[in-house]
Structure 1
Amino acid sequence: MTTQPTEPSAPAGNTPVTFYDHLLPGIEAGRYRITVDQQLPAEQLPGARLDPVEQIVDVRAAQFRLDPSWVHAVYPAPHSQGPFHGLLPHITLNPAALPWEREPFTGNVQNPARAPWPALLLFGEGELPGDPNALGTTASVTVRALLDGDAAVSGPALDRNAVDPALLDTPCRVVDVPRDLLAQLLPELSDLAFLAHVRSGGEDAAPAEGQDGRLRQEAHAVITTARFPATAQGRYVAHLVSLEGHAPAGAQADGKPVRLVSLHSWTFTSCPESGDSFSRLAGRFAPGHGEHSAAPLCPTPAADANLPEELGTLLEQGMVPMTHITDSGERALAWYSGPFLPRVAPGLPRPADGHFPDADGLLLHEPHTGTFATGYACAWNVGRALALADPGFATTLVRLRHQGRLRRATDRQYATYRRQLFHNAPSAGPAPRMAARAAAPTPREQFEELLRGDALDALAESFAAPDDAGPRPRTVRAAPTAYRLDAPPRSSAPQSAPSDARETAAWLARLRTLSGVPFDCLVPDQRMLPPESLRLFHVDRGWLDALLDGARSLDRHPGADTATDAELDGLLDGHGSVPAAGLLLRSALVPGWPTLRVEAHAASGTVPVEVIRREALGADVLLMLFDRMPDRLTISEPHQGLHFGMDDQGNVALRSLAPGEVGRPLGRSVPVGADPALTVTTPAGARVLDLGRLAARLAEDVKPGSPLSPAEFAVQLVRAPEQLTLSFEGTTR
């Protein structure tokens, strides 16, 4: 298997994303008085005028706390490290209208540009007195205490009567910000509108059905900060704060800190020299990076090991030497191979009944070294251990087997009575005698009728029916007038599988995707998956079968449970595809980009490969299982994480705003990082964008004669997600 990259780092494919300036609610949050007055034109009529009716209505919205489920994504990821000095941190919210449900500031401050009431502020180490290490530390106060105020700080001036009384004794998180620092970080009211917009579409947005029945992409509100992390290494904390009830920055001259409500916060570390950017991390999987390159999953011996050819071949096949302890306690060398192999495994010969009864029959002899290959036997034991560790599955499987045995025993007994009845049937005689026998059945005929009537169903229910299965339908059968040996003993109408069988098959289907299997059984040697590596593999179908045979071995009798096993096999076939290949990714990409996009294609990238399972198995390990071996992989940043900021050279790439071409790169850029008029360094050392000047400067190039709207401004600052494409040639399929 060889790897060949196509473009080590390129912008991701076009994704339909629409930007909007804002999403205004039908009515803002607050208290309203509704007055209804009715008057008829003919005032001389009795009852022509009705007294006015008034009603107080409270329109409520988020104010002091934010539901964590409303936070769709944040960037940079919480507790991540990377070169973020050229990017503007941002937060994406599920309620798209939330930033405009209230008004920022107080004192009759006009807001014609529709600035949002929350703002995202970025603080570094040593800037917040209550959080000098930028760990996200906040203070907790009740809403009542916040409204009452504190003489040492300047809090929000809100009307208590407009606050829901049920919220007064609930806690909220606050952060005290020095006034001069807030004045440096918080833009002017006219510029605040550029820091919030609405995004609709993208591959991460789930389609929702509108009132017209059409599917529409879900919209998200995006709030960015105007501050860049410093070019030097440092930790930062981002706070989404409420501006409601406050005065604009610099409006008051007192030196009191400003107490802001923190709706959401997270921390990250900017390390310009860490090399942990997406392009650098993903680029290591290209050929030429040694053990970091995308390669088969197998042990790699040392260069000076000088192993015999036979042993080197076994290692290349994915087998790992292990210590094997026999039943007698002796220690011997054995070879282990898990379900992930760098080759297509040969078919595992099956027993006559299709299932292995124990692990001993799966100990295979390795002829080159004269030792055992224990992979399949280990799989059988792991499956049995997982089944015994789940009491619900074990109980269901045993009950299913007992039900099947009782049904088959009853059917056999019934067939025996039918044969006896046939042999004891009266010979042909005169018609009156036959009529008399039909009118007066013999005792054997009466007993046979009882067995295939309601008495048989009641007997089966009392011995085998589960508690939650409910009573069986009772049937009324007419007395037979003739008997046929070839008649079916039970009803031949199709019946659905019992609930126990469906539950058992569903559990086995999850196990077939290796859910719950210890990681040591999947990757027996950590050197097979070193840090910052990507490994492709084939899935050994025989290993999966041995795993399932061990789980199904509880209370199994090969002769008596053949029908139950066949029923489970049929149900398993209906539970989707069986894993045939997959990949393991061990990299800082997993925690740094939790929604990392990995696309697999076959047939030279034209046929998408089905992803059967995708799960993070640890802090930095991602497992994906496919229905076939792909020959092309595309790893890209998540599309909901459209970043905003400058490129590595400190430039903002210009994009078209023409209808039908919105977002198309124009091939020109504006130097922002090196222009002190656009990127202002505050006395505190913070690099803050002058949003008003930057918007005017960008408008000169992309929209001459007209100002930019918040959505158009966001389009210019977008940094498209990066991606890496790997093609695999010579892969054994």
Structure 2
Amino acid sequence: MTTHPTERSAPADHTPVTFHDHLLPGIGTGRYRITVDQQLPAGDLPGAAFDPVRQIVDVRAAQFRLDPSWVHAVHPAPHSQGPFADLLPHITLTPAALPWEREPFTGGTGVPARSPWLALLLFGEGELPGDPNALGTPAMVTVRELLAGDATVTGPSLDADAVDPALLDTSCHIVDVPRDLLAQLLPSPAELPFLAHVRAGGEDAPSSPDRDTAGPGDQDAHAVVTAARFPGTGRGRYVAHLVSLEGHRPPGQAEGGEPVRLVSLHRWTFTSCPASGDGFGRLAERFTPGNGEHSAAPLRPAPLPGAGLDDELAALLDQGMVPMSHVTETGERALAWYSGPFLPRVAPATPRPESGHFGDADGLLLHEPRTGTFATGYACAWNLGRALALADPGFSTTLVRLRHQGRLRRATDHQYQTYSQQIFLSGPLTSSSGVKKAGLAGTAEPMADVPGAPSRAATPREQFEELLRGDALGALADSLGTATDAPAAAGPVPVTLTTPVPRALKRSTTGPSPSPDAKEAAAWLAGLRVLGSVPFDYLVPDQRMLPPESLRLFHVDRAWLDALLDGARGLDRHPRADRATDAELDALLDAAGPVPAAGLLLRSALVPGWPALRIEALDGSGTAPVEVLRREALGADVLLVLFDRMPDRLTFGEPRQGLHFGVDDEGRVALRSLSPGEVGLSLGRSLSVTGDAALTRTTPTGARMLDVGALAARLAENVKPQSSSLTPAEFAVQLVRAPERLSLTFEGTTR
């Protein structure tokens, strides 16, 4: 249960991202006693009074550890380097109510209502005695040891009886902060509410019919906790700790000089360097033209400088072919050319055999006449598909069982057709009433099968075959015949002479529905068609084709994909006996969706630094999106994206939930409107922050701290004169820095 804030928060009706001040849980953590008392209206009746029923209920929430999956994103990215001096680090959490599930500090300290119990603290090198290099390596103690206290530090004052006994022997991370340093870095109780808010919606959020009325309790809502410290203007490593303030005293109220022990729920490190190129903008700008091997380009092997290759060899490299060592069936070693499914050009159509599928890899070994060598790409694809199919016992068993079932149906159809033809030529004739008729000369010989001859009765064997074919109702009707107790009509029984049609020709035009085995096999093949489980070396045979910090585009060779699937589905395959099964699989694959036609490979620090990196692909019109068939990280820094067609424009952007907070390059905040219907729109004015000593201060340790309370008041004077301050959501709107985007246009793309 949650309660939504009643005061107006900062969203605009048309903005994709909505800000809210907080998301309060319906009930706070702690131990509650529920008493149920019941009494009947007539209290003087016997048994009218009932003894009250009492139940003790413990409401618990995260306290000493966080589930790693709850951390949606952090900024700056872990282990990144970039010009972060003007940004306020922040962390985005998936449980939107998490920062308000507990109370900060100890009771009676004058903390404003709805203050978060979490704070994000930023430490530089040499500031933490236990982590002088800012590597993010906190110490670990058990919860029992934390609650017992240590004479050398000041820990949180928590009630051990209120802690879940199952957590006492679990470990938690701690960080011991010198008291004077903590007094400089820890926000005051009045500043805490401005450093946490709830963000809902965004273009990445799932659409819903009531998106205009979406609130912070939606599934796409996230809690954001921001630090109040800017990284230094020079180069330096920093570690950010998300700490718990529960059980501590506010800055200035604590006594003693010993360090303060804080519980660290999450931490990450980064390096602020003004000249670094590892920020999002600088990393993405490397893909623009003119940056050498970093620029976006087709995926092809680059010849070595000064190699002096002739035109024919250079042409093969330009087509995406890589020279490889090839071992023939006789054991001889020779030079061959390999090309994977990703080519810098549109692959020519490859002739297919009459059966539609290659039965072995030998038929896919192509001869390259210009160099007198072989092209082994398609043969390797066939062998790879066979190896992947054999390595999956579930698929191989399903496919073999499907083929055997198909052969059994084929044999049954053939046998049924043979019996039908024999019976059609030799069976007795009957009238439409089922009465046997003699020949024209009064003999017992059956009449010849000529047009107009009387129909015959189905033989027991034919009725049995009808049952095998599943037409049980029709077979039983033929067997039972008409009712014998029906009154006979007066006069002679009319005879209708018809020519019977063999039952083997009476086939349903709709056909049977696909079997479960066929659906399962087709689903596995559809996953293989988007290159699932294909080793990376088959996709990029030469690592020089994808250098660090590069973006490579490619066309997908449909013939390579067909060869891959032919090898996988070639298990226990007979070209003639399995035609029906192959046709069934082909129909299911055609209905499984489009086939990859193009794609991109991104090898960059953007992949680990921005896991939710936005990639938009548009066609030549600039409005129709290109469908993404597969998007998957193939390694620590490699991302594969497959499209249904070649895009003409690509846009890379930071995630919407990864909005930054801070000032611009000149240390100013761009003022935004807070009027209804215009929230977030620029007012065309700005406010100097880092250049104003009343808004930022430098601590004795050299930390650049933002005076949150003074800035909120100053912003209110400029954007909300009728109020003396802003709400947390309105404050976040003013400090937002829009996500960076990079658009690449490819003119004249070969489609």
- TM-score normalised by length of structure 1: 0.88
- Counterpart residue identity of residue 589, structure 2: L
Match of residue 362, structure 2, among 360, 366, 390? 360
- Counterpart residue identity of residue 405, structure 1: R
- 1:191-590 correspondence to structure 2 within 5 Å: 191-207=191-207, 218-302=220-304, 304-426=306-428, 433-434=436-437, 445-453=459-467, 477-480=476-479, 484-488=500-504, 492=508, 494-590=511-607
Partner of 2:7: none
Partner of 1:709: 727
SS at match of 1:372: strand
Q: Distance in 2 between matches of 1:275 and 1:571?
A: 48
Q: Distance in 2 between matches of 1:208 and 1:266?
A: 34
Match of residue 693, structure 2, among 656, 676, 679? 676
- Mean Cα deviation higher: 414-423 or 325-334: 325-334
Q: Distance in 2 between matches of 1:43 and 1:348?
A: 93
Partner of 2:103: 103
SS at match of 2:24: coil
CA contact (8 A) 1:80 1:591 kept: no
Q: Distance in 2 between matches of 1:485 and 1:259?
A: 92
CA contact (8 A) 1:131 1:138 kept: yes
- Counterpart residue identity of residue 725, structure 1: S
SS at match of 1:729: coil
- Mean Cα deviation higher: 349-358 or 363-372: 363-372
Q: CA deviation at 1:694?
A: 1.8
Matched, 1:605 2:605: no
Partner of 2:25: 25
CA contact (8 A) 1:604 1:632 kept: no
Q: Distance in 2 between matches of 1:700 and 1:609?
A: 46
Q: Rate the CA distance shift 1:48–1:330 in 2: closer, same or farther, 3 A.
A: closer
Q: Distance in 2 between matches of 1:534 and 1:721?
A: 20
- Counterpart residue identity of residue 254, structure 1: G
SS at match of 1:136: coil
Q: Distance in 2 between matches of 1:567 and 1:574?
A: 11
Q: Rate the CA distance shift 1:485–1:192 in 2: closer, same or farther, 3 A.
A: same
Q: Distance in 2 between matches of 1:576 and 1:410?
A: 33
Q: Deviations over 1:593-634 (max 9, x none)?
A: 111111000023111100001111122211111011111111
CA contact (8 A) 1:418 1:485 kept: no
Q: Distance in 2 between matches of 1:437 and 1:64?
A: 98
Q: Distance in 2 between matches of 1:204 and 1:183?
A: 39
Q: Deviations over 1:126-155 (max 9, x none)?
A: 322333333332333333333232222212
Q: CA deviation at 1:351?
A: 0.3
Q: Deviations over 1:528-548 (max 9, x none)?
A: 222222111111111111111
SS at match of 2:191: helix
Partner of 1:155: 155
SS at match of 2:677: coil
Q: Rate the CA distance shift 1:371–1:138 in 2: closer, same or farther, 3 A.
A: same
Q: CA deviation at 1:267?
A: 2.5
- Mean Cα deviation higher: 308-317 or 558-567: 308-317
Q: Deviations over 1:25-72 (max 9, x none)?
A: 222222334566789999999999988776544332222222222222
SS at match of 1:406: helix
SS at match of 2:182: helix
- Counterpart residue identity of residue 745, structure 2: S
Q: Distance in 1 between matches of 2:434 and 2:331?
A: 80
CA contact (8 A) 2:424 2:502 kept: no
Q: CA deviation at 1:434?
A: 5.0
CA contact (8 A) 1:663 1:715 kept: yes
CA contact (8 A) 2:204 2:656 kept: yes
Match of residue 719, structure 1, among 729, 733, 737? 737
- Structure exhibiting the larger radius of gyration computed from Cα positions: 2
Q: Deviations over 1:3-22 (max 9, x none)?
A: xxxxxxxxxxx961111111
SS at match of 1:477: helix
Q: Rate the CA distance shift 1:237–1:391 in 2: closer, same or farther, 3 A.
A: same
Q: CA deviation at 1:583?
A: 1.0
CA contact (8 A) 1:319 1:335 kept: yes
- Structure 2: runs of 5+ lacking an equivalent: 1-13, 439-443, 447-455, 482-497
Task: Quote the RMSD (CA, aligned, Å).
Answer: 3.3
- Structure 1: runs of 5+ lacking an equivalent: 1-13, 458-471
Q: Distance in 1 between matches of 2:47 and 2:428?
A: 98
Q: Distance in 1 between matches of 2:693 and 2:475?
A: 93
Q: Rate the CA distance shift 1:203–1:172 in 2: closer, same or farther, 3 A.
A: same
The aligned length equals: 702
- Mean Cα deviation higher: 348-357 or 681-690: 681-690
Q: CA deviation at 1:230?
A: 2.1
Q: Rate the CA distance shift 1:364–1:409 in 2: closer, same or farther, 3 A.
A: same
Partner of 1:10: none
SS at match of 1:238: strand
Q: CA deviation at 1:731?
A: 1.0
Q: Distance in 2 between matches of 1:79 and 1:56?
A: 46
Q: Rate the CA distance shift 1:412–1:152 in 2: closer, same or farther, 3 A.
A: same
Q: Distance in 2 between matches of 1:580 and 1:412?
A: 41
- Counterpart residue identity of residue 502, structure 2: D
Partner of 1:620: 637
CA contact (8 A) 1:207 1:217 kept: no
- Mean Cα deviation higher: 255-264 or 535-544: 255-264
Q: CA deviation at 1:214?
A: 8.3
Q: Distance in 1 between matches of 2:687 and 2:352?
A: 68
Q: CA deviation at 1:246?
A: 1.1
Q: Deviations over 1:54-101 (max 9, x none)?
A: 654433222222222222222222233333222111111122122112
Q: CA deviation at 1:569?
A: 0.3
CA contact (8 A) 1:176 1:258 kept: yes
- Mean Cα deviation higher: 143-152 or 221-230: 143-152
Q: Rate the CA distance shift 1:47–1:212 in 2: closer, same or farther, 3 A.
A: farther
Matched, 1:631 2:648: yes
Partner of 1:4: none
SS at match of 1:666: strand
CA contact (8 A) 1:422 1:483 kept: no
Partner of 2:746: 728
- Counterpart residue identity of residue 373, structure 2: T
SS at match of 2:383: helix
Q: Rate the CA distance shift 1:86–1:42 in 2: closer, same or farther, 3 A.
A: same
CA contact (8 A) 2:80 2:279 kept: no
SS at match of 2:265: strand
Q: Deviations over 1:431-453 (max 9, x none)?
A: 86459999xxx999334433443
CA contact (8 A) 2:285 2:742 kept: yes
- Counterpart residue identity of residue 746, structure 2: F
- Counterpart residue identity of residue 295, structure 1: A
CA contact (8 A) 1:419 1:485 kept: no
Q: Distance in 1 between matches of 2:159 and 2:474?
A: 72
CA contact (8 A) 2:85 2:231 kept: yes
Q: Rate the CA distance shift 1:418–1:265 in 2: closer, same or farther, 3 A.
A: same
Identity of aligned residues (%): 72
Partner of 2:495: none
- Mean Cα deviation higher: 311-320 or 505-514: 311-320
Match of residue 650, structure 1, among 644, 661, 667? 667
Q: Rate the CA distance shift 1:476–1:687 in 2: closer, same or farther, 3 A.
A: farther
Q: CA deviation at 1:494?
A: 4.4
SS at match of 2:336: strand
Q: Distance in 2 between matches of 1:405 and 1:359?
A: 24
Q: Distance in 1 between matches of 2:298 and 2:434?
A: 83
Q: Rate the CA distance shift 1:48–1:403 in 2: closer, same or farther, 3 A.
A: closer
Q: Distance in 2 between matches of 1:712 and 1:520?
A: 51
